[in-house]
Structure 1
Amino acid sequence: MNRPAKKVFAASRLPTNTGVSGWVAMLPPRQAKPRLAGRSTADVVIIGGGFAGLSAARRIGDIDRALRVAVLEAGVIGDAAAGRNSGFIIDLPHDVSSEDYGGDTIAKNREAIEISRTAIALASAVAEEQRWGRTIFDPCGRYSVAISDEGDRHLVKYAEGLAALGERHQLLDARGIADITGVETYTSGLFMPGTVMVQPAAYIRGLADSLRDPVTVYENSPAVRIEGDGGGEWTVTTPHGAVSTGRIILANNGHAESFGFFESRLLHVFTWASMTRAFDPGHLRGQRNWAATPALPMGTTVRRIAGERGDRILVRSRYSYHAGIEAGNGTLRRAGAKHDQKYNARFPTLADVPMEYRWGGAMALTWNAVPAFGEIERGIFAACGCNGVGATKATANGIAAADLMLGRKSRLTEIFARFEAPRPLPMQPFRTIGAKANLAFKEWRAGAE
């Protein structure tokens, strides 16, 4: 009788970070949990300690507290992509408008909202349990802001779509949005109350620390090899240890491709952010805590963050494609220069308040905007391909992957089962040429927004 063939998936690269995340820098140094050492066993191994991986662990613990779960984080919890997020857990799709706003479009948007609100429900439950204050978890809603006629028109059209969905919202004129932001830059705004704002590094740290035995989080423990015996048992190896299991959740987003999964199906895009040093709140009128996404896609996201030592402004703009999931300091400098332009145009009264931190964060997109999800090998389940809005979609991906792995039918598994598989991308070099051209065109189209 022939033995089943062994399968080996070895990591071709490990995650790297570019720049210093202001979110991490504002926190006390983390006392990292121990790394994986020696040999052990677990019922489930989760590769990745970000929004997807930790949400999956939380979900498993809520459903079956007897399962031994090992979460492997390559670095320190909160230092990687999750702690480089802008902190928007958004409940509404970025585009709810359609020329022929039919029933199918409404149904798809309502399912997208249901996915997002499932993620928010998990985050809210953890925040209530851990008694987090608003500096970590703030259900304050968000604004979408415009600084051009085209942006104004887009917000009106978006509001019409929200009205068709029965979603609460409030359109603001230039005076109304100026009262919020404290600047005269914006020509209109749209308030949507369902978004939760988080301090992403603090949130991820807190989520990891909320997990209880038999869930164990290992930091500085990158998975470098996944080996299967062909019979359903897997061994995940790290530089200093190994853990055997029958089930794995792959929650490392774009780095799933580093193991050979979803090859030529993930676009590796970095987003870039800068954060000012703290300033006297009296130097900028308006509300001290607000968050705004741009009216047009690929525009500029802005947050004002209140703190005990003063307030800060976060600016996020610029997107860049990097096939090797690694971006250099040159890209960071160019993005930072663009941030300074956007910041100075919006906040002229803060001309003497410079940026203190600049950083980049990786995300993974699929051509057809679906998650890289499902059982991809016997006993290996993927929760990858966040397609932007990582705090929301990655959280939902993790919840859905946990449900699928446990054989539990839920609304998320029902919705996710209808998604297409990620489509193959064009061959190189056409993929790189096309991705860079597409990003450049969308940024050009966003203009001053």
Structure 2
Amino acid sequence: MFVTRKLPQHLGQSGWVSMLPSRPPRPALDGAVSADIAIIGGGFAGLSAARRLSQLDPKLKVVVLEAGEIAEGATGRNSGFIIDLPHEVSSEDYGGSDSDARRHDFKVHRTAIALAQELATQKGWGKDIFDPCGKYNVALGPEGDRHVASYAKQLDKVGEPYRLLDAREIAAVTGGSSFSSAIYTPGTVIIQPAAYIRGLADSFRNPVKLYENTPALSFEREGVSWKIRTPKGSVKAGKVILANNGQAQNFGLFRGQLLHVYTYASMTEAFRPERLGGERSWAATPAFPMGTTVRRVRGDDGDRILIRSRYTYNPRMQVSEGAIERAGRVHDRKFEARFPGLKGVPMQYRWAGAMALTWNGVPAFGEIEPGIFAAIACNGVGATKATASGIAAAEAALGMDSWLVQVFRGFAAPRRLPPQPFLTIGATANLSMKEWSAGLE
């Protein structure tokens, strides 16, 4: 039997959720139900797994259990990038003997994009929810410029398209004069993550059933099936997909293998579009790892700027209001430095979002018990890697030996983490050093 020790907690008000109209949640599970496959977790991984299962076998009975309401957790706190190429632009990411492996990564990422694109086409979404506009990596100074130039050379080696922008050209995009250079890659999709995941959740029809506000409290072997207990009911299923990311550790799984890191974001009040030149919708990741992600979000009531930066190691999987406030002060400085013309525009929303990482950067994936399949640890690129992991878990649960399943099965096992207190000291120091190295970026 696997019993959870605690339920997820989420602090701060996500701007993505707050901008949307209210949505009545699906009813909580009340009573006993049965399914062919049960999925624990209603985020990118879990709902992508459910969609893939329904594609492969429309008659399959699938039950999805979400502890809270759809989009209220980490998924709705995401920055909204479904990337085909990595955020990081350091030269060691590409080229040399690793070129084939990197192309492998691109194909995995594009598998996630393909599922999202199919959903967007089916739902008839506009660019406010799903925008295949590409993304920018932006630099704020000479060191960042060197990283951008290095990235371009490595993309040449693997034959990926891009466009370099000088300070004037990126200013025409962002409306600000702070950025010194940028590189544009066309394959990324930017989404409104809360709207996207709500739309995915609401796309399901029988025999796929989604229960919200229904945390899994325990699961145990019962004959040839697994029985999942919830506060007011239970699910009996032949197979289970764990898609609850770091929360899997609360069931006693992957102990000593998952790093629990939180990242922070702030979003401004809506401002008049004419206050800032440039394009009204764009997305940029930083030239340096652990730098600052920036998005301009177009809305009917005006435009907003999203600033995401700051990372903390939180082994207990919870953050404080004070941590959000401290991160917010950093965001305010970064916002003012990048957009001095928007002086006086306040932040309206601030929030924290959880990530699960492994020391060696691999997912926690595979059949960990007979009939229990894990799609855990997105390692920081949640919309993309979690989607791909969910697709692979669905295929593996149906006994498929697809190309994607082979890729995920080919990853090494997550490395064991150092013991405490060395882990906390080392993780905290490492995050601080990387943020310090990013400097202005």
* Same fold at TM > 0.5: yes
Amino acid of the structure 2 residue aligned with 1:310: G
Which residue of the partner structure matches residue 141 of structure 1? 134
Partner of 1:407: 399
CA separation in 2, counterparts of 1:404 and 1:334? Answer: 43
Q: For 1:20 and 1:93, how far apart are their aligned partners in 2?
A: 28
Pair 336,265 (structure 1): closer, same or farther in 2 beyond 3 Å: same
CA spacing shift, 1:367–1:101, aligned 2, 3 Å: closer
| Identity between Structure 1 and Structure 2 (%) | 60
Calculate the TM-score normalised by the size of structure 1: 0.97
2:297 counterpart residue number: 305
Q: In the alignment, which residue of structure 1 is the partner of 2:81?
A: 88
Distance 1:20 1:100 in 2: 34
Tell me if the contact between 2:95 and 2:157 (Cα under 8 Å) persists in the aligned partners: no
Secondary structure at 2:24's aligned position in 1? Answer: coil
SS class of match (1:210): coil
- Name the counterpart of 2:100: 107
In structure 2, what is the Cα distance between the partners aligned to 1:446 and 1:102? 23
- Which sits farther off after the overlay, 91-100 or 258-267? 91-100
Name the CA distance, whole Å, in 2 between partners of 1:200 and 1:94: 18
Task: Provide the residue aligned with 1:285 in structure 2.
Answer: 277
SS in 1 for 2:299: coil
CA distance in 2, matches of 1:202, 1:209: 10
Residues 142-195 of structure 1 deviation map (CA, whole Å, 9 limit, x = unaligned): 000000111000000011111111111001000010000001000001001000
Deviation at 1:341, TM superposition (A): 0.5
Counterparts of residues 406-445 of structure 1 (less than 5 Å): 406-445=398-437
- What is the aligned counterpart of 1:274 among 217, 241, 266? 266
Q: Distance in 2 between matches of 1:378 and 1:243?
A: 17
Q: Which moved more, 1:13-22 or 1:411-420?
A: 411-420
Aligned AA (1:364): A
Q: Deviations over 1:327-366 (max 9, x none)?
A: 1101000000000010010010111110000000001000
Residue 364 of structure 1 corresponds to 356
The answer as to whether partners of 2:88 and 2:287 remain within 8 angstroms in 1 is no
TM-score for the superposition, normalised by structure 2: 0.98
In 1: Cα distance, 2:162 partner to 2:440 partner: 24
State the AA in 2 paired with 1:245. A
Deviation at 1:401, TM superposition (A): 0.4
Cα pair 2:312 2:428 within 8 Å, conserved = yes
Q: Partner letter of residue 354 of structure 1?
A: P
Do the aligned partners of 1:21 and 1:358 also contact (CA within 8 Å) in 2? yes
Note the 1:205-284 alignment, pairs <5 A.
205-229=198-222, 231-284=223-276
Correspondence list, 1:150-189, <5 A: 150-189=143-182
Q: Distance in 1 between matches of 2:435 and 2:264?
A: 13
**Larger displacement relative to structure 2 (203-212 or 98-107):** 98-107
Contact 1:96 1:161 in 2 (8 A): no
For 2:305 and 2:96, the matched residues in 1 are separated by 40
Counterpart check, 1:385 vs 2:366: no
Matching residue of 2:72: 79
RMSD: 1.1
AA in 2 matched with 1:312: R
Distance 2:81 2:173 in 1: 18
Q: CA deviation at 1:409?
A: 1.9
Q: Which residue of 1 aligns with 2:7?
A: 14
Q: Counterparts of 1:110-129 in structure 2 under 5 Å?
A: 110-129=103-122
- Matched with 1:5 is none
CA distance in 2, matches of 1:397, 1:426: 26
Q: Contact 2:88 / 2:286 at 8 angstroms: preserved in 1? A: no
Q: Residue 37 in 1 paired to residue 42 in 2?
A: no
Q: 1:304 and 1:315, CA in 2 relative to 1: closer, same or farther beyond 3 A?
A: same
CA contact (8 A) 2:132 2:188 kept: yes
**1:84-103 residue CA offsets vs partner (Å, 9 max, x unmatched):** 00000010123476569766
How far apart in 2 are the matches of 1:222 and 1:51? 17
User: How far 1:66 moved relative to its partner?
Assistant: 1.2
Change in CA separation of 1:203 and 1:191 when aligned onto 2, cut-off 3 Å: same
For residue 43 of structure 1, give the secondary structure of its aligned residue in structure 2. strand
Indicate conservation of the 8 Å contact 1:52/1:383, yes or no: yes
CA contact (8 A) 2:94 2:155 kept: no
Task: Give the whole-Å Cα distance in 1 for the aligned partners of 2:93 and 2:55.
Answer: 42
Q: CA deviation at 1:104?
A: 3.4
Task: Give the C-alpha shift of residue 30 in structure 1.
Answer: 1.4
- CA shift, 1:232, in A, is 3.1
Match of 1:448 in 2: 440
Moved over 6 A (4+): none
Q: Give the secondary structure class of the aligned counterpart of 1:112.
A: helix
Gaps of 5+ in 2: none
Aligned residues: 441
Q: Contact between 2:90 and 2:288, CA under 8 Å: does it hold in 1?
A: no
1:97–1:160 Cα contact (<8 Å) kept: no
Is the 1:232–1:378 contact (alpha carbons within 8 Å) kept by the matching residues of 2?
Answer: no
Mapped to 2, the partners of 1:15 and 1:101 lie a distance apart of 36
- 2:312 equivalent among 305, 320, 326: 320
Which consecutive unaligned segments of at least 5 residues does structure 1 have? 1-7
- Partners of 1:276 and 1:356 within 8 A in 2: yes
Are residues 152 and 64 of structure 1, via their aligned partners in 2, closer, same or farther at CA, if it must alter by over 3 Å? same
- Provide closer, same or farther for how the CA distance between residues 137 and 237 of structure 1 changes in structure 2, counting only shifts above 3 A: same
Q: Match of 1:83, as an amino acid?
A: G
- Structure 1 residue 65 displacement after superposition: 0.9
- Corresponding residue for 1:4? none
Measure, in 2, the Cα distance between the counterparts of 1:383 and 1:63: 18
**Residues 396-439 of structure 1, C-alpha deviation per residue, up to 9 Å, x if partnerless?**
00000001111112121111121000010001111111110000
* Aligned partner letter, 1:210: S
CA contact (8 A) 1:254 1:363 kept: yes
- Write the distance in 2 (CA, Å) between the matches of 1:260 and 1:396: 24
Check the 8 A contact 1:367/1:422 in 2, yes or no: yes
Counterpart-to-counterpart distance in 2, 1:139 and 1:96: 21
Question: Match for 2:221: what amino acid?
Answer: G
Equivalent position of 1:3 in the other structure: none
Report if the CA contact (8 A) 1:96-1:109 is conserved. Answer: no
